[in-house]
Chains A and B, each alone.
Chain A
Amino acid sequence: MSLQVSELNSFSVERLRSEFPILKRSMGPSNLVYLDNAATLQRPRRVVDREREFSLRSNANVHRSAHRLSFEATELFEEARKKLANSLGATDSHELIFTKGATEAINCVAQTWGMDQLQEGQEVIISRAEHHANFVPWQQLCRRKKLKLQILELDAEARIQPSALEGLLNSNTALVALTALSNVTGAKTPLGELIPIIRAKTSAKILIDACQALLYETEFLKNYPVDFLVGSGHKMGAPTGIGFLWGKRELLEAMPPYQLGGEMISVVYDSDSRWSGIPYKFEAGTPPISQAIAWGECLRFWEEQNRDWLDAHLKALTERALKKLEEVSELRILGPLSAKDRHPTFSFSVEGVHPHDLVTFLDSKGIAIRGGHHCAQPLHRQMGFGSSARASLTYYNQEEEVDLFVEALKESILFFRRLSP
């Protein structure tokens, strides 16, 4: 660690938590213990304040009018685009398209690049760990275009093994679409190993779904040279309703538009139209303006935190959770068992207790976890889980919360199995 101990000491989880007002909310017997961060992250007060301030002071449509307010809104909106591009490690902010979310970004690539460029007989590789947003668009594209969908299977701890991917690659592989970090298993995809293998063996394009990883990996594109990258703002504390598609300029320029309408045209004649350049070609209609500006503020917020402290804290949380969960013998983890391979997102099943019942039990103690298939049915089916319960942690969680969670889990097992012989 590069920082002096005294500097590190000024960062603390209490200080970080004080920026998130919702964490002080009382949920009955205790304050909220929020362990559903993989679904959506809570928002720092500053982010909400920024969106409110924009709405009350600077609101206008962008790229539309010459009046000062519109000019100001446009400046702020484009500044947010530059801010996000910069944090992703992108050199050209025109390669960054604002979308409704990561789901829309993936659908955009499937419907434009996929429909236009892919030919019968070519192959698309996705992993078993993909959530539905990076699964169903490719499955349906493959059906329509008569492509072959290859599902990269996982090892016993639900990790992607480079050798397994290598076995699927061939001269027909046109796309490899993978998550950077699974929303179910918490497994980190070893992109540093996978990307050189894909590049060496094929000319396939690489799309990475960075929804879960975005907050934890800065300058993603510098570390991982891919072709398409997608993510959602609300997974890192920005508002809902906004995400992005980043793509290489030459790919985006060759793609037809996804939706048609205002903002994306340069000239409209009676019988035909010409499109704007990127990114506007892909931003038909009024974009999510206040959300983009709030996202910019969110990026500044995280930049001001100390990365070394954040990373050390997250590692400590992961290790603590693994150790405590090990104490529960009835529990089976769907994902890596060692801290180095994973993020603190833990999906698990408890013998004899349905995940939905666990959720209700923990909820009664103010602990918010998720139960279900987490938008990843094929993964659950393959790993022999009907569904699972999931606790997903982030920077503002505390080790005390891990302990509270595991204690409540043990209590719930006694409660639900009270009639068992």
Chain B
Amino acid sequence: MSLELLYRDLILEHQQSPRHFGRIAEADAEAEAFNPMCGDRVHISLKIEPQEKKIVGQAFEGEGCSICMASASMMTEEIEGLNLDEVESRVESFRSLMKGERPSGELGEDILALQGVAQFPVRIKCALLAWTCLKDAIDEWRESKKSRETGESTADSKGA
């Protein structure tokens, strides 16, 4: 196994200067994920435009190894301006990349720097943490939107 393949310069660069690092003050969706084995933690916060279900703001913060932090940082660049269906498709593509497969859909060029992780089974979880967290945040947003809408329509019908 080659360490250079795993720890590409781009990964270390993202770790040292993470993009979109922090929390969005009034986030529409957020989630936190932990890896109890190594103590890694990632928090994701999103601004979502509800009509087109588009990401209009994204941030992450947390602590973890270089793979975990670089993956989170790259992910925030990857999803910029996408709608939620596109975001979910990227999450799936990234998962397939981590299985050592050809990505199931589109993925940005930077993300491919993480493909070496697939050769290190114990580290795949590190790379996936932020993506799992992102999926959680989106799922929760969809759920609460659904219940809000049913709540509203019940309220409407009552009003009528």
Contact = CB atoms under 8 A, between A and B. Distances in A.
Whether chain B is bound by chain A comes out as: yes
A387 B39 contact: yes
Among A356, A371, A415, chain B packs the most CB atoms within 10 A around the CB of: A356
B6 A372 contact: no
B1 A364 contact: yes
Given A354-B66, A356-B65, A357-B67, A415 B39 contact: no
B160 interface: no
Contacts of A377: 39
B86 interface: no
B3 A356 contact: no
Contact of A364 (B3, B37, B68, B122): B3
Contacts of A415: 3, 7
Contacts of A356: 38, 40, 64-65, 67-68, 123, 126
Nearest to B126: A356
B154 to A, nearest CB: 39
7 contacts: A354-B64, A356-B40, A356-B123, A360-B122, A380-B39, A419-B12, A419-B16
Contacts of B3: 360-361, 364, 415
Nearest to B66: A357
B39 A419 contact: no
A355 interface: yes
A356 B64 CA distance: 8
Interface string B1-40: 1010011010011001000000000000000000001111
A156 B134 CA distance: 39
B110 interface: no
Given A386-B63, A419-B12, A360 B39 contact: no
Interface of B: 1, 3, 6-7, 9, 12-13, 16, 37-40, 63-68, 120, 122-123, 126
Closest 9 CB pairs of A and B: A356-B65, A354-B65, A387-B39, A372-B38, A373-B39, A356-B38, A357-B65, A419-B12, A357-B66
Centre residue among A354, A387, A415 by max chain B CB count within 10 A: A354
Contacts of A380: 39
A420 interface: yes
A73 B114 CA distance: 54
B39 A416 contact: no
Given A355-B38, A373-B39, A415-B3, 8 more contacts: A354-B64, A354-B66, A356-B38, A357-B65, A357-B66, A360-B3, A386-B39, A387-B39
A207 B120 CA distance: 41
Q: Is the interface of B mostly helix, strand, loop or mixed?
A: helix
A181 B3 CA distance: 35
B122 to A, nearest CB: 8
Contacts of A419: 9, 12-13, 16
Contact of A416 (B63, B64, B66, B123): B66
A276 B12 CA distance: 62
Contacts of B38: 355-356, 371-373, 387
A360 B120 contact: yes
Q: Is the interface of A mostly helix, strand, loop or mixed?
A: mixed
A360 B37 CA distance: 14
Contacts of B64: 354, 356
Contacts of A373: 38-39
Interface of A: 28, 354-357, 360-361, 364, 371-373, 377, 380, 386-387, 415-416, 418-420
Nearest to A385: B39
Contacts of B6: 360
Nearest to B40: A356
B16 A357 contact: no
B151 to A, nearest CB: 36
B70 to A, nearest CB: 11
Nearest to A358: B65
A75 B122 CA distance: 43
Contacts of B16: 419-420
Contacts of B66: 354, 357, 416
Contacts of A360: 3, 6, 120, 122-123
B37 A372 contact: yes
Contacts of A355: 38, 65
Contacts of B9: 418-419
Contacts of B68: 356
Nearest to A386: B63
A371 to B, nearest CB: 6
Residue from B12, B120, B122, B123 having most chain A Cβ neighbours under 10 A: B12
Nearest to A371: B38
A79 to B, nearest CB: 39
B39 A372 contact: yes
B73 to A, nearest CB: 14
Contacts of A387: 38-39
